[in-house]
């Protein structure tokens, strides 16, 4: 029988503990700071139960007067007399002279003065237990906060990230070395061409201000150097600090140790928190700020480029429009291309120029040519009025129809098509006005050769709308030979077209 092969033992993989992230360290330090504040509060509560020990003042002793130079030293007779006085019993009969002698001694006077200085002044009250507790707590919190702020400042100085400066900005670029000659080719000698020998012109570049980084570098080196040289005097400095903080922390037996612990604890916590924050977040924030600044600069540069391109387009369109109105030798395709993409302000300005040229020259037969030069401009405005999100401007079609109707010879069919589009885009004449479109369309339709009833009704409908909205057109209607001739041929009077006569 074959023996079963033992199954291979699978290695047991121990689960690796999750690494402690710096963010978790910062969080733990914050919890530690809160715990330290809680300790300060708890420590201050002992002022309710423990009376601070007050050191008695040192006895004031009168120093013996120095003997004059050259005199022999006298024996200490007053000391022996004092001893005898202490040993001698006090008798009531001798109280008068002995008491007077004792009061007049210098030692008794100095002792009286010392006792008077140690006694509290008259009229002052000792603070209550609550007042002492609040005082100790306030002093401890201020001490903790000051130590933490000092540690955070030092940690910030040590943790400021260094910016990566671009090296060689603004320096001339060395010319590239020429490729080696091909095998069998003659070797070239002599100087290189002048174009290759010239260096690339220097380019001015601006970078971030690194003064804070330099100051941080200097201060950290100074702090480390001074700290190492003064390391031996650190215990005495901590002792002096503890003596200074003992009265503010209640004057207890543990006040000195507690003050030293607060200083070391909160300074370390503040240093680590500020250092880790600067290393983790400050560099990222500065990088993001630089990236945002670069994006803004690119956007501004693109907007400036777009504005310059738009200004060039607008200027070219205005230049060709003025040339067309002056000489009339601009091709229609070139004018259409120039007006495409023109801004709304320049389109309005070009429209006003062409409209003024048409309205000032349509009545005078000698200036008909000037009026006819506006037709290509209005055609270009109509052809390029395809702006996204905006409907075509109806007055472009209306002005084109007016110019076509008054040209020499008149082009009535084209004018009727343009005016039909203008009234379609405009909407109701009663709501929007501008009834010259109906009036001129009626004039274009008033052809003596057209005697059908449909054309007559269209003419009468346009005239009624025009006179209803704008009654002042009666005088213009009477002066127009084409309309007045048509009305006379069809036995239509002006009064019959007015609203009051219907």
Q: What is the pLDDT of residues 177-190, one digit of tens each?
A: 444 444 444 444 44
In a domain, 136, yes or no: yes
Say yes or no: 258 and 329 in one domain. no
Say yes or no: 428 and 492 in one domain. yes
In a domain, 85, yes or no: no
In a domain, 192, yes or no: no
In a domain, 376, yes or no: yes
Say yes or no: 283 and 356 in one domain. no
What lies within 8 Å, CB to CB, of 418 at 6+ separation is 382, 397, 398, 400, 401, 404
Say yes or no: 361 and 290 in one domain. no
Residue 489: predicted pLDDT: 87
Q: Which of 475, 158, 91, 130 is nearest to 494 (CA)?
A: 475
What lies within 8 Å, CB to CB, of 500 at 6+ separation is none
Domain span including residue 403: 308-501
For position 406, which CATH number holds?
Answer: 1.25.40
What lies within 8 Å, CB to CB, of 350 at 6+ separation is 317, 318, 321, 339, 342, 377, 381
Say yes or no: 318 and 266 in one domain. no
The CA-atom distances, in angstroms, between 217 and each of 91, 164, 224 are 83, 15, 11
Structure tokens at 293: 């600044």
φ/ψ of 107, rounded to 5, equals -65, -40
Final residue belonging to a domain, choices 306, 327, 350:
306
Spatial separation of the C-alpha atoms in residues 178 and 200, rounded to whole Å: 16
Contact 339, 347 (CB under 8 A): yes
CB neighbourhood size of 82 (10 A): 14
**Residue with the two structure tokens 């590239």:** 176
Spatial separation of the C-alpha atoms in residues 181 and 124, rounded to whole Å: 105
What lies within 8 Å, CB to CB, of 501 at 6+ separation is 495
Please count the structural domains in the chain: 2
In a domain, 202, yes or no: no
Residue 191: predicted pLDDT: 42
Final residue belonging to a domain, choices 257, 272, 306:
306
Spatial separation of the C-alpha atoms in residues 400 and 381, rounded to whole Å: 9
Say yes or no: 290 and 357 in one domain. no
Its sign, for the CA torsion 94, 95, 100, 106, is positive
Say yes or no: 301 and 381 in one domain. no
Say yes or no: 298 and 312 in one domain. no
Final residue belonging to a domain, choices 246, 271, 306:
306
Structure tokens at 357: 């040229």
Say yes or no: 279 and 337 in one domain. no
- Under-70 pLDDT residues of the chain: 1-21, 51-127, 163-213, 216-217, 226-227, 500-502
In a domain, 27, yes or no: yes
Q: What is the DSSP string of 83-104?
A: HHHHHSPP-STTHHHHHHHHHT
Spatial separation of the C-alpha atoms in residues 135 and 137, rounded to whole Å: 5
Residue 500: predicted pLDDT: 63
Say yes or no: 280 and 358 in one domain. no
In a domain, 189, yes or no: no
Say yes or no: 236 and 351 in one domain. no
In a domain, 290, yes or no: yes
Say yes or no: 270 and 316 in one domain. no
Contact 467, 497 (CB under 8 A): yes
pTM of the entire predicted model:
0.52
């Amino acid at each position: 029988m074959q023996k079963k092969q033992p199954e291979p033992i699978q290695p047991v993989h121990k689960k690796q503990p999750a690494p402690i992230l710096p963010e978790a360290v910062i969080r733990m330090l914050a919890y530690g700071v809160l715990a330290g504040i809680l300790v300060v509060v708890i420590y201050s509560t002992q002022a309710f139960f423990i009376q601070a020990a007050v050191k008695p003042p040192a006895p004031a002793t009168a120093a013996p007067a120095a003997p004059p130079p050259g005199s022999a030293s006298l024996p200490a007779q007053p000391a022996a007399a004092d001893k005898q006085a202490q040993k001698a019993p006090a008798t009531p009969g001798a109280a008068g002279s002995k008491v007077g002698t004792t009061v007049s001694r210098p030692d008794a006077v100095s002792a009286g003065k010392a006792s008077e200085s140690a006694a509290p002044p008259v009229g002052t009250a000792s603070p209550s237990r609550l007042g002492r507790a609040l005082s100790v707590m306030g002093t401890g919190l201020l001490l903790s906060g000051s130590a933490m702020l000092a540690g955070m400042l030092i940690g910030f100085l040590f943790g400021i990230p260094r910016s990566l400066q671009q090296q060689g900005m603004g320096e001339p670029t060395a010319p590239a070395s020429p490729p080696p000659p091909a095998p069998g080719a003659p070797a070239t000698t002599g100087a290189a061409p002048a174009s290759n020998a010239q260096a690339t012109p220097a380019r001015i570049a601006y970078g971030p201000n690194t003064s804070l980084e330099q100051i941080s570098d200097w201060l950290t080196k100074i702090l480390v150097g001074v700290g190492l040289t003064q390391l031996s005097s650190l215990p005495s400095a901590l002792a002096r600090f503890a003596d200074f903080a003992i009265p503010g922390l209640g004057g207890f037996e543990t006040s000195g140790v507690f003050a030293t612990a607060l200083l070391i604890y909160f300074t370390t916590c503040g240093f680590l928190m500020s250092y880790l924050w600067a290393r983790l977040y400050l560099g990222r924030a500065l990088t993001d700020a630089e990236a945002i600044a670069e994006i803004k600069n690119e956007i501004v540069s693109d907007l400036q480029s777009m504005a310059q391109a738009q200004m060039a387009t607008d200027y070219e369109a205005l230049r060709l429009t003025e040339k067309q109105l002056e000489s009339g030798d601009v091709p229609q395709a070139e004018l259409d291309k120039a007006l495409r993409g023109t801004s709304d302000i320049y389109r309005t300005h070009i429209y006003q120029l062409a409209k003024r040229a048409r309205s000032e020259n349509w009545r005078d037969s000698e200036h008909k040519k000037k009026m006819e030069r506006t037709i290509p401009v209005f055609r270009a405005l109509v052809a390029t009025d395809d702006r996204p999100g905006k409907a075509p401007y109806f007055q472009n079609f209306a002005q084109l129809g007016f110019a076509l109707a008054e040209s020499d010879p008149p082009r009535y069919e084209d004018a009727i098509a343009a005016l039909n589009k203008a009234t379609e885009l405009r909407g109701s004449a009663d709501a929007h006005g501008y009834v010259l479109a109906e009036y001129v369309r009626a004039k274009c339709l008033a052809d003596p050769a057209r005697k059908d009833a449909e054309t007559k009704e269209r003419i009468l409908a346009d005239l009624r709308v025009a006179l209803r909205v704008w009654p002042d057109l009666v005088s213009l209607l009477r002066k127009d030979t084409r309309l007045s001739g048509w009305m006379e041929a069809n036995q239509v009077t002006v009064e019959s077209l007015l609203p009051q006569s219907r």
